[in-house]
Amino acid sequence: GEGARTAYLSVNRGEGGQNGIGPELWEGLGVIRTEELLAARKLDGAEQYFTRAFDFGYTRSAEETLQKWNREEILGDMVRVIRMMRPLVVINGFSGTAQDGHGQHQVAGMLTMEAIEAAADPNRFPEQIAKEGLQPWRVSKVYGRRFAQTSSGPRAEFDVGVYDPVLGRSYAELAADGRSRHRSQDFGMI
């Protein structure tokens, strides 16, 4: 509604999760979940990116996740997206702490903050600069997604109930429709 170019970066494709619509698991489920994300992006107009991380199932800690993921490879993928997109604002969907529950979510939150710093540093992932023609990029603002009023510090609040006459619905309705595209995760909403 504000005319901003937006993108989502999914660290993995959800291959290790449950499937509420069929028998597919692992790679097959990854294909389904990729298509669900792309269907949601058709609704909201955002771009969709992924890293090479594989969802190997539920983990309780970041440490457990990092035993199975190549941290530098995934971090490099995230830096590449930041350098390609050149965002002014990044919203980190996870805190990078145990509050995120799932260990892969914890790592996503941690690596997001590392990637933001690394993207601005020409000494980090210099091959992206030399071979891919990307340039270092400094993000202007970073926001964390919070659902409770418990966090302190500066806040940005948005009225998602605003009706958009061009869309013929509110942004909350658009978001619910997009979330309903994630059928394999039983995210459907009324």
* pLDDT tens sequence across 116-165: 999 999 999 999 999 999 999 999 999 987 655 556 667 777 788 899 99
- What pLDDT, in 10s, does the model give residues 17-60? 999 999 999 999 999 999 999 999 999 999 999 999 999 999 99
Asked whether the beta carbons of 178 and 40 are under 8 A apart, the reply is: yes
φ, ψ of residue 142 to 5 degrees: the values are -125, 130
H or E stretch covering 20: none
